[in-house]
């Protein structure tokens, strides 16, 4: 009896070629798992393609709700942006896809799991580490990495094997998308000096002509989680779709970024993430109003570290789990409303309010001193600067002694 392997399947070039390689080179029965995390795909066609390529079973599993509740929510409350730019949508989806593949592998009594990642990218690390943490007993197979196949070589292989592919050598973009954003890489985009062609974008309109009207939306957060837009309460999944449409119509959400991959390779990455950037920026603005400064300081440090852990494929690590618990605890008072304006590729925070606001106009105002005694700072400044004042005086004294 042949061994079984469960393949994380997207329906694209890489994973379609993997089906053939696993069957013919590894002599294994292949079961595919396509996970719906909000990508704009025809999943019945993906199932049909997998079966036509010789898979034993082709699972299509809807994980959009779990993706939103268990992955996107922690990303929002932690303001997760890798290198202050990338909203981590691909990196967030990989642990969930890996978890789903492992679930099917156990259900089907498979001996191995597989993915279609290359030896240069980040996703191989995310899949491998997730598989190793969740199911160390399963063998991991990565055919594209194993055979060191470049993209042109993979296209040639697909043509020889009569595998239908959606790209050509003339325009070989690699595209990944889900509810939280869309990435485009490869081909002419690898020329870092060249402007990104307009045809790579789908979620955002061209920046020119500039929109002739403004759009304002009000985003209501409850304990850090968006729950209403303009007084319309809706599931977070629908909020993301709504904000994507509004922000994208104004050209907001484009990112052209030179990124540091996990292994140190610099890579040009082009992203579209209108909703992700809008919600994270709005959430961060509300936190500045409701969280004490020491908590903001520590949280910002952990946000950067948390983003790096997610990016590096360590979602299921103990550290990542502990930081998620910390982030959730910080959100107890992050409730309120943030007003956002869109205009010609820009998004601005133009108002915020909260029942837990630490901002008080009567304290902050320069108009009067009714709630603030201006004599207080003198003593505060003396205590605050005591050590550096003593240090400076001692330094001058020692220098004078040495000179004399």
Say if residue 362's pLDDT is above 90. no
Q: Is residue 331 part of a domain?
A: yes
Q: Which residue has the higher pLDDT, 215 or 324?
A: 324
What is residue 208's predicted lDDT score, i.e. its pLDDT? Answer: 58
Contact in structure between 88 and 252 (CB atoms under 8 Å): no
Our answer to whether residue 156 is catalytic in this structure is no
User: Confidence band (pLDDT; 50, 70, 90) for 171?
Assistant: low
Say if residue 323's pLDDT is above 80. yes
Average pLDDT over residues 232-259: 95
Structure tokens at 252: 């907001």
What is residue 378's predicted lDDT score, i.e. its pLDDT? Answer: 81
What is residue 174's predicted lDDT score, i.e. its pLDDT? Answer: 81
3-class DSSP state of 11: coil
Our answer to whether residue 231 is catalytic in this structure is no
pLDDT tens digits, 201-212:
999 988 655 455
Enter the pTM of the model.
0.91
pLDDT tens digits, 4-58:
999 999 998 899 999 999 999 999 999 999 999 999 899 999 999 999 999 999 9
> Could you tell me if 197 and 316 lie in one domain?
yes
Our answer to whether residue 123 is catalytic in this structure is yes
> Could you tell me if 162 and 35 lie in one domain?
yes
Q: Is residue 62 part of a domain?
A: yes
What is residue 252's predicted lDDT score, i.e. its pLDDT? Answer: 94
Q: Is residue 95 part of a domain?
A: yes
User: Confidence band (pLDDT; 50, 70, 90) for 168?
Assistant: low
Domain of 389, in residue numbers: 366-403
Q: Is residue 398 part of a domain?
A: yes
- Decide which of 126, 146, 174 is a domain's last residue: 174
Q: Using CA of residue 387, residue 392, residue 395, residue 400, what is the dihedral sign?
A: negative
Contact in structure between 127 and 117 (CB atoms under 8 Å): yes
Say if residue 261's pLDDT is above 60. yes
- Decide which of 130, 147, 174 is a domain's last residue: 174
d(CA 186, CA 174): 6
pLDDT tens digits, 367-392:
777 777 777 788 888 888 889 888 88
> Could you tell me if 244 and 371 lie in one domain?
no
User: Confidence band (pLDDT; 50, 70, 90) for 328?
Assistant: very high
Residue 325 CB neighbours (<10 A): 9
Q: Is residue 359 part of a domain?
A: no
Specify the number of domains making up the chain.
3
> Could you tell me if 293 and 306 lie in one domain?
yes
> Could you tell me if 34 and 148 lie in one domain?
yes
User: Confidence band (pLDDT; 50, 70, 90) for 394?
Assistant: confident
CATH number at residue 117: 3.40.50.620
Q: Is residue 358 part of a domain?
A: no
> Could you tell me if 343 and 258 lie in one domain?
yes
Say if residue 180's pLDDT is above 80. yes
Q: Is residue 218 part of a domain?
A: yes
Q: Is residue 26 part of a domain?
A: yes
> Could you tell me if 170 and 267 lie in one domain?
no
Our answer to whether residue 94 is catalytic in this structure is yes
What is residue 169's predicted lDDT score, i.e. its pLDDT? Answer: 52
Say if residue 235's pLDDT is above 90. yes
d(CA 213, CA 215): 7
3-class DSSP state of 333: helix
d(CA 9, CA 32): 6
What is residue 299's predicted lDDT score, i.e. its pLDDT? Answer: 98
Say if residue 198's pLDDT is above 80. yes
Q: Choosing from 16, 47, 75, 123, which is the catalytic residue?
A: 123
Average pLDDT over residues 138-163: 90
Q: Choosing from 151, 174, 260, 317, which is the catalytic residue?
A: 174
User: Confidence band (pLDDT; 50, 70, 90) for 281?
Assistant: very high
Q: CA torsion 40→231→226→291, rounded to 10°? A: 150
> Could you tell me if 82 and 105 lie in one domain?
yes
3-class DSSP state of 163: coil
> Could you tell me if 14 and 150 lie in one domain?
yes
Say if residue 334's pLDDT is above 90. yes
> Could you tell me if 154 and 216 lie in one domain?
no
Say if residue 315's pLDDT is above 60. yes
Q: Choosing from 94, 182, 254, 352, which is the catalytic residue?
A: 94
- Decide which of 132, 154, 174 is a domain's last residue: 174
3-class DSSP state of 217: strand
> Could you tell me if 182 and 159 lie in one domain?
no
Average pLDDT over residues 215-219: 95
Helices 151-160 + 13-24 axis angle, to 10? 60
Contact in structure between 247 and 216 (CB atoms under 8 Å): no
Q: What is the mean pLDDT of the chain?
A: 92
d(CA 132, CA 172): 31
What is residue 212's predicted lDDT score, i.e. its pLDDT? Answer: 56
Find which of 149-163, 183-197, 264-278 is predicted with most confidence, using mean pLDDT: 264-278
d(CA 144, CA 388): 59
> Could you tell me if 117 and 248 lie in one domain?
no
């Amino acid at each position: 009896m042949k061994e079984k392997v469960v393949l994380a399947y997207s329906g694209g070039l890489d994973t379609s070629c993997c089906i053939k390689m696993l069957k013919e080179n590894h002599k294994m029965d292949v079961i595919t798992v396509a996970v719906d995390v909000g990508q704009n795909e025809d999943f019945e066609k993906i199932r049909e393609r997998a079966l036509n390529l010789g898979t034993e079973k082709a699972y299509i599993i809807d994980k959009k709700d779990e993706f939103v509740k268990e992955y996107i929510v922690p990303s929002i409350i932690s303001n997760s942006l890798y290198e202050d730019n990338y909203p981590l949508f691909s990196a967030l989806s990989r642990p969930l896809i890996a978890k789903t593949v492992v679930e099917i592998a156990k259900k089907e009594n498979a001996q191995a799991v597989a993915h279609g990642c290359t030896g240069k990218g980040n996703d191989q690390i995310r899949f491998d580490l997730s598989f190793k943490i969740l199911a160390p007993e399963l063998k991991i197979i990565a055919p594209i990495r194993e055979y060191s196949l470049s993209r042109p070589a993979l296209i040639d292989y697909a043509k020889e094997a009569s595998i239908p592919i959606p790209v050509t050598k003339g325009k070989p973009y690699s595209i990944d998308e889900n509810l939280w954003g869309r990435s485009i890489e490869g081909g002419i985009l690898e020329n870092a000096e060249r402007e990104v062609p307009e045809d790579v974008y789908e979620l955002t309109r061209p920046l020119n002509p500039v929109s002739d009207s403004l759009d304002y939306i009000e985003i209501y957060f409850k304990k850090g989680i968006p729950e209403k837009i303009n007084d319309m309460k809706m599931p977070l999944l629908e909020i993301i779709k709504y904000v994507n449409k509004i922000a994208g119509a104004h050209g907001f959400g484009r990112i052209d970024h030179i990124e540091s991959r996990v292994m140190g390779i610099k890579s040009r990455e082009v992203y579209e993430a209108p909703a992700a950037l809008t919600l994270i920026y709005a959430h961060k603005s509300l936190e500045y109003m409701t969280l004490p400064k020491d908590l903001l300081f520590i949280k910002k440090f952990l946000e950067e570290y948390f983003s790096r852990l997610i990016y590096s494929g360590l979602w299921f690590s103990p550290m990542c789990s502990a930081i998620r618990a910390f982030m959730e605890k910080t959100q107890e008072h992050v409730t309120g409303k943030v007003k956002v304006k869109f205009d010609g590729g820009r998004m601005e925070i133009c108002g915020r309010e909260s029942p837990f606001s630490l901002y008080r106009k009567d304290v902050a105002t320069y108009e009067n001193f009714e709630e603030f005694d201006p004599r207080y700072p003198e003593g505060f400044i003396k205590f605050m600067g005591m050590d550096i004042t003593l240090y400076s005086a001692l330094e001058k004294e020692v220098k004078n002694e040495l000179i004399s």
